Chains A and B, each alone.
With several copies, the nearest count.
Chain A
Amino acid sequence: MLSGRNDYRELVQDDRVSGRLYYDAAVFDEELEKIWYRDWIYVAHESEIPEPGDYVTRFIGLQPVIVSRDEDRNIHLLLNRCMHRGNTVCQSERGNAHAFRCAYHGWTYNNRGALVGVPYAAGYDGSFAREEYALARVPRSASYRGLIFGSMSASGPGLEQRLGNAARLIDQFIDLAPAGEVILRSGVLKHSFRGNWKMALENSVDGYHPNILHHAAMMLITKGRKVDMEAVFGEHTDALARDLGGGSAQLDLTPINRERGGRVVPHGWSAMAWEQYLDAMQRRWGVDRAREIIQVGGPHFCIFPNIIFILNQFRVIQPVSVEETVVYYYPTMLKGAPDEMNQRRLAETYLIHGPAGRVAPDDFEAYERNQEGFRARANEWLVLRRGLHRERRESAGTIAGHETDETTQRGIWRHYREVMQA
């Protein structure tokens, strides 16, 4: 019925999309059904719940989920809803618990979701099978390099298949860790805006805006240093905007990083830390591969619909309503890297991102101005044609354009149209 209302072939065209997709509540409901409750959604990283009993609570779409680790170190994605009358059984966003007890009538579930306690049991006779009252599970869950994804749909492509080209970028991000793992245990910044979630996804791979919208931050970066931001995000950059397929997209700064020897070596590092890190990397990867990894540096990309990798951080998009969204920023530590390096990664996250950061607030102001602008209906189109004439298909099936081009947005929307029209 909803899909009857919206024709996504009309609303999403190759070089433009309708503003309606950002404010129509019926579109949002349909997105819940066809994207958030069907696709693979990133929920958490295994390192957030390292110990048996550790848990975090998250949302898949609008549904509350507990991500718990049991005594056998297995991970479970459980709906946070008592099977008796539906109270939430877990109130905290993180903690350690071997059981979740519902406050209302005391039904108790272990961290596998099994119903292990029912007060006044005589009220239920033999026909009552406790197994039927285990906490509902997210139908499918899977991990890749410690990233836990869940899907509310029992069927569909597997996680790795769905990740496609994005998988090797996850590798690129994590291989920077001498121990081959990232650790998310440094808290999270939570940043909200009054606007549609898709703006945050598109913006994450929008290479056109940084020098303009973030001019103040750029001023601070360049001040008293000879960095030409035009050669990074501007006209004469060698970086690329890449459509990875499946709605995933990348800003590929590799060419620049190669020259600069890789983003992971910010200026002002102690030589010692650098030595330590290089040494650890070489021991793990060998000299050449280590140099390669370091030079290429961390990738900048997004995986449709809700996770973004930028600098040292995971960024997660959480829709709240058609025009309310929250973005979570998780700093990631490189296991096996010197503390100095990881502290730097931590600092970069809060200095640059979040509500009071040097960069993120600009984007959030832009999102809210965008949502305001959508009230003008005389012309409903958003134009996505930038660089259409100069992008090229790559061997991997990906499409590469100039860093400032909208190749990335077009990739996101092509996938969106496909899943929404389905």
Chain B
Amino acid sequence: MSVERSAIERFLYREAHLMDNHRYADWFALWAEEGPLTYWVPCNGDDLDPKANVSIIYDTRTQLRNRVARLNETLWLRERAPRLSRVVSNVEIEDQNADEITASSNFVLVQLHRHVQHLWAGSSVHKLISAPSGLRIRSKKVVLINNDEPLPNLMFLI
């Protein structure tokens, strides 16, 4: 299969839109329906083995579903959720084969919470498959520029 960069961009923009608007369920629907999933935000560096080191996020399918449920249920988030707006850019197709596309991108995310603006920045690598319903995420890795710094609450999708 062969996919254009612009198709990947459209997909990532769509994902960004859902994340910015806390549409947890719709975002979860962007993930592959079958097979193992990984949603990884490394900690203390960009590549420490998540089996041997803490991660900021390291979710398989079950944990990802739990994360979405947790965000959905949290009452205080309904009282005051962070406002988000992110630009996704530098989208590149790193690799593409029969059943998987690897795409990298950078983002700058501006968060407003409790009247304070906070800036998140980093890069992502998506492994995508092309399902009948369109592209789907098999794994996603987000490298935060400050993943070895103290972070405030990350109670949204990144």
Residues of A in contact with B (beta carbons under 8 Å apart): 91-93, 103, 186-194, 215-217, 219-220, 326, 329, 331, 343, 346-347, 349-351, 354-356, 358, 361-362, 364-365, 368, 372
| Docked CA distance A92–B75 (Å) | 13
B57 neighbours in A (Cβ, 8 Å): 350, 356
Residue of A nearest to B147 (CB): A190
B56 near A349 with CB under 8 A, answer no
B74 at the interface (CB under 8 A from A): yes
| Docked CA distance A103–B150 (Å) | 24
Cross-chain contact of A365 among B66, B67, B153 (Cβ < 8 A): B153
B153 near A187 with CB under 8 A, answer no
B54 near A188 with CB under 8 A, answer yes
A91 near B53 with CB under 8 A, answer no
B34 at the interface (CB under 8 A from A): no
A364 near B152 with CB under 8 A, answer yes
Cross-chain contact of A331 among B54, B70, B155 (Cβ < 8 A): B54
A355 near B152 with CB under 8 A, answer yes
A215 near B73 with CB under 8 A, answer yes
The A contact surface, by secondary structure, is mixed
Q: Mark B142-158, 1 if CB is under 8 A from A, else 0.
A: 00000011111111000
B151 near A192 with CB under 8 A, answer yes
A91 near B80 with CB under 8 A, answer yes
CB distance from B61 to the nearest CB of A (A): 14
B48 at the interface (CB under 8 A from A): yes
B51 near A350 with CB under 8 A, answer no
B148 neighbours in A (Cβ, 8 Å): 93, 190
Cross-chain contact of B53 among A186, A194, A356, A372 (Cβ < 8 A): A186
Residue of B nearest to A360 (CB): B153
- In this complex, the member of B70, B73, B153 whose beta carbon has the largest number of chain A beta carbons within 10 angstroms is B153
Residues of chain B at interface, number, CB under 8 A: 33
B119 at the interface (CB under 8 A from A): no
Q: A191-B151, A219-B69, A343-B51 are in contact. Are A368 and B114 (CB under 8 A)?
A: yes
A372 neighbours in B (Cβ, 8 Å): 114
Cross-chain contact of A355 among B44, B75, B153 (Cβ < 8 A): B153
B79 near A92 with CB under 8 A, answer yes
| Docked CA distance A343–B55 (Å) | 13
B155 near A361 with CB under 8 A, answer yes
Cross-chain contact of A188 among B41, B44, B154 (Cβ < 8 A): B44
Q: A103-B75, A358-B70, A368-B114 are in contact. Are A329 and B54 (CB under 8 A)?
A: yes
- In the assembled complex, 21 residue pairs joining A and B whose CB atoms fall closer than 8 Å, in A order, are A91-B80, A92-B79, A93-B148, A103-B75, A188-B43, A190-B151, A191-B151, A191-B153, A192-B150, A216-B75, A219-B69, A343-B51, A346-B52, A354-B54, A354-B151, A355-B152, A355-B154, A358-B70, A364-B153, A365-B76, A365-B155
B44 neighbours in A (Cβ, 8 Å): 187-188
B80 neighbours in A (Cβ, 8 Å): 91-92
| Docked CA distance A209–B94 (Å) | 45
B85 at the interface (CB under 8 A from A): no
| Docked CA distance A351–B52 (Å) | 14
B63 at the interface (CB under 8 A from A): yes
A350 near B150 with CB under 8 A, answer no
Q: A92-B79, A92-B80, A103-B79 are in contact. Are A189 and B56 (CB under 8 A)?
A: yes
Q: Mark B62-95, 1 if CB is under 8 A from A, else 0.
A: 0100110110011110011000000000000000
B79 near A220 with CB under 8 A, answer no
B24 at the interface (CB under 8 A from A): no
A189 neighbours in B (Cβ, 8 Å): 43, 54, 56
CB distance from B70 to the nearest CB of A (A): 5
Cross-chain contact of A362 among B69, B74, B154 (Cβ < 8 A): B74
B114 near A186 with CB under 8 A, answer no
